[in-house]
Amino acid sequence: MQRIAFVGLGRMGEPMVANLLKQGFEVTIVGNRRPEPVERLRALGAKVAATPAEAAAGAEVAILVLPTSAEVEATLTGPGGMADALAAGSVVVDCSTSEPDSTRKLAAHLAGRGVGFVDAGMTRGVVGARQGKLAYFIGGSAEDFAKARPALEAMGDTFFQMGPVGAGHETKNLSNALSYGTVALVGEVLLLGKRFGLDLNALQEALMSGASSKALESFGPRIIEREYSPARVSVGNVRYHLQTTRDITPETVSLELLPRVEAMYERLSGMGLADKDMSALAELWERTDSA
């Protein structure tokens, strides 16, 4: 079995490591600011390293599940980073929601050391991570993907090969934009239902019968109940991801809807809700009602 270095033990990363361990992989994780996931994974058989470089020593595959490209860059090329410790012939798999330009620069840097790179944007959320049924948007060469695939198959079951390095993260950004825009529309539809005097739970059920969507199914009830914690996807993360999508949009393309969606989440952040779930869109209802 491959030796895996894994960095990022959040709500997605912890169950991903658990599935790797269940499938017999030798996994070394990096100490986290929260000790609980580290100790749970240690109990399942994970080794624990003090730094990314220590975890990377002897690893055949390094998997990253981090919040932004800034953390990915620091983990790979910062002090105590993985780049100098990874052996030629190994491969980095970035499952973070990263900026494609940063991804391509990191891949080029690692290629000079004989280390491959696969960007593997993920979907299906925490439930998919726990079930080992994640879907991946893959960017990278066929050779590097072949090296990464055994580990990825321990954590997921669906692969979309989108093109060269960066294409996986471009696809993930588009997937996020579609998801966040749909959740915003769900919030507005439920606002209309409230204005019409409809029972919102009955409306949710009725809409699922004819206009169903993952956004309506997953976030409709949270919007109705004003359930903002714990955050599945925080308003702050939504803003970062939408900004990334805006940054990678060619100047020749004029977008109409996404800037308006981004403005909605910016308003929520300005209301002090950046750390809350994006279902906090319901807080915009009061502003509309008082207008």
- Positions marked active-site: 172
CB 180 within 8 Å of CB 257: no
CB 265 within 8 Å of CB 205: no
Token pair 């206009």 is found at: 211
Handedness of CA 14, 12, 16, 219 (dihedral sign): positive
CB 134 within 8 Å of CB 156: yes
Element (H, E) at 54: helix 52-56
Q: Which pairs with CB-CB distance under 8 Å and at least 24 residues apart come from 30-33? A: 30/5, 30/6, 30/54, 30/55
Report the SS3 class of residue 248: helix
Task: List all residues 6 or more positions away from 39 whose beta carbon is below 8 Å from its beta carbon.
Answer: none
Closest by CA to 238, choosing from 190, 175, 194, 195, is: 175
